[in-house]
Chain A
Amino acid sequence: MSSNVSDLLQDIEEKEANAYKEVEVHKDIELNYDLGHLLASDTNPLNLKELRSNTNSFLQKLTRDNCQLVVNKLYALQSKVIDGFQVAQLPAPITLLPRSKPVPKPKPPTKWELFAKEKGIQKKKKEKLVWDDVAKEWKPRYGFKRINSERDDWLIEVPDNNTDPNVDLFAKKVEEKKERIAKNELQRLRNIARAQKLKIPGTGGVLPKLSDTKEELAKVVSLAKSSTASLGKFEETMKDEKPVKRTKKRKYGDNFGDVKAETEKSLEILDHIQNKNPKIDIDKAVNSLISTEEKE
């Protein structure tokens, strides 16, 4: 009986040893593994003679050996059973691969976001549905079939006696909404322009604001005036209106003119160049002197 058991054990041991022989591969230099990519690099020198004579069989043998080594490594990793399958947890890859796009930069803050941060205003979550007391049902705050929709208005009261009763209040409401949309779009573009540090063309650096300074208003007036077909030639000046300073247009001299005046002018320029002395910024010079003395 006892001999039977020992035989059995020996049998098992032999089998295991044989199995181990089947999966064992010897390499002089160990492979470099990067299991995150399922990758291995073999640095052992190749048998070039064999490679030349029977390429495919040599490559298959080499691949089999290396693949066996990688599989052995993968089986040694920590694994879990998921849906009845053994799943190995791969380590993070070592080889750094370039990204396809740069790392996204944080969005530049809008003017409102800057203001809110300064004032400590925090975003509040608003509920999507609002109770409509007239219709006695829940309605979305924004979008289709929303509360206070202009679709629901079949009648608009004339606000007071001062307003003209012939004005179409429905059209006015639509117009106001369009204005608001346009304003929002403009603000969006201005935010982008600020983030990109761009000047907006065609505006002369003036954009509508809630509060304009006197100078800015004057600039706007002059811009508006010069925006006619005749570039503001026939516009009347208002009372107390001051002309806005503009950059002078460069005037070119005649191509054929006084030779004497031309030589004089050229000589003047030459003189100016020759007598040019380097300018000394006294404050800067003194500061640098002081700093060098302090260092010493």
Chain B
Amino acid sequence: MQSIPALKKPKTRKGKKILEKRGGQLVEDDKRAMFMKGSTVNQTMVDFMKDIALLKKPLSSMLNQKNESKPFENADPIEHVAQKGDFSLFMFGSNSKKRPNNLVIGRLFDNRILDMFEFGVSNYKALRDFKAASILKGCKPILLFSGEPFETEFEYQRLKNLLIDFFSGPKTNAIRLTGLEHVISIVAAEGKIYFRSYRVLLKKTGAKLPRVELQEMGPFFDLTLRRHKLASDSLMKSASKQPKQLKPRKVKNIQKSALGTTFGRVHMQRQDYSELQVRKLKGLKKSKSEKREAESDEKPAKKVRFSIKPNP
């Protein structure tokens, strides 16, 4: 049976606010990610997840306990923990003979797993192996995707969507131009996905635009896709549904062409052609008598309403 959320009444105002948030909001907060260690995790995977958690900092939390969970066999533990901590993104690391350095990245919708991808991690180079200065906490990275599969293959398209969701950082509608500090490049080629993260250095040139120089910042790693679980099209559609209230309203009578020119349509009343000034001709000139008539027409006697009090 579906649980009834309102049945248990919150005891404090704070509790009430938290429950309201968990029930779903019109404008959602940024998604938070949890990093979970499997029971068979090795040090490489722990370090790896710590690095990614650091990159995502205010929107991430590394869970301390190891978890006896296998996302593809039984996702219940992940869903349970995610619901408790209100996480909607997760990363799960484990290691086994069959699947060495195993990484699962996924996301949840309404506390249920929406989609997840399993990878093998190789050529991992940690954040601390590089000498670049650290970036600001909560800095929004520039995301770059290259490679044919991201455009042509369905799974990769979904994967791209997930990676954007995972790495794009806080939502914003404005950005400080000198604050562009971090770039993440994800390249898919020959069955591998290359993840590279650099620090951006904006060098002054004579012109308005700066020249971009990159400094290796890490982490660097390569991924090979193993298993995946995709959301059905209908679920994906319902999950991506935008609330009606947030959709932009249609603006009447204003259109934009492909070139960006704005066209406006103005509705006017029918023009009175009798008043139209056309070319003056002697033949069309009014005679004196006509003029007099027109004047008398123009000024009709002012109508006055009155009533007469009847005599008693």
Contact = CB atoms under 8 A, between A and B. Distances in A.
A87 interface: yes
B177 A59 contact: no
Contacts of B147: 42, 46
Contacts of B220: 56
A74 B205 contact: no
Given A23-B209, A64-B213, A37 B180 contact: no
Interface in A62-88: 62-64, 66-68, 70-72, 74-75, 79-80, 85-88
A42 B6 CA distance: 48
Given A38-B143, A39-B143, A103-B243, A63 B183 contact: yes
A263 interface: no
Contacts of B105: none
Interface stretch (A93-101, A129-137, A220-228, A247-255): A93-101
Interface in A1-48: 15-16, 18-20, 22-23, 36-46, 48
B144 A63 contact: yes
A278 interface: no
Nearest to B86: A100
A60 interface: yes
Contacts, number: 198
Contacts of A18: 206
B92 interface: no
Contacts of B236: 98
Q: Which of A68, A86, A97 has the most CB of B within 10 A?
A: A97
Contacts of B88: 100-101
Given A79-B177, A86-B177, A23 B205 contact: yes
B212 interface: yes
Size category of the binding interface on chain B? 35 or more
Contact of A100 (B28, B183, B189): B28
A37 B164 contact: yes
Contacts of B213: 64
Interface of B is mostly: mixed
Given A43-B151, A70-B144, A85 B196 contact: no
A39 B164 contact: yes
B189 A23 contact: no
A67 B161 CA distance: 19
A67 B177 contact: no
Interface string B159-200: 011001100100011111111100101010110001010101
Contacts of A270: none
B277 interface: no
A189 B9 CA distance: 10
Nearest to A192: B6
A20 to B, nearest CB: 6
B264 interface: no
Contacts of B9: 188
A82 to B, nearest CB: 8
Nearest to A71: B212
B37 interface: no
Nearest to B194: A59
Q: Which of A41, A62, A101, A188 has the most CB of B within 10 A?
A: A101
Given A39-B168, A67-B212, A90-B172, A101 B25 contact: yes
A198 to B, nearest CB: 8
Nearest to B9: A188
A38 B141 contact: yes
Contacts of B168: 37-39
A51 interface: yes
A98 B142 contact: no
B144 to A, nearest CB: 5
Contact of A102 (B110, B174, B183, B198): B110
Nearest to B200: A67
B144 A86 contact: no
Interface of A: 15-16, 18-20, 22-23, 36-46, 48, 51-52, 55-56, 59-60, 62-64, 66-68, 70-72, 74-75, 79-80, 85-90, 92, 95-104, 188-189, 192, 196, 198
Given A39-B168, A40-B145, 14 more contacts: A23-B207, A23-B211, A41-B144, A55-B194, A62-B146, A62-B185, A63-B185, A67-B144, A68-B212, A79-B177, A98-B231, A101-B109, A102-B110, A104-B23
Q: What 5 A-B pairs have minimum CB-CB distances, sorted nearest first?
A: A100-B88, A101-B24, A98-B239, A19-B206, A19-B205
5 contacts: A19-B206, A41-B146, A59-B187, A64-B214, A98-B231
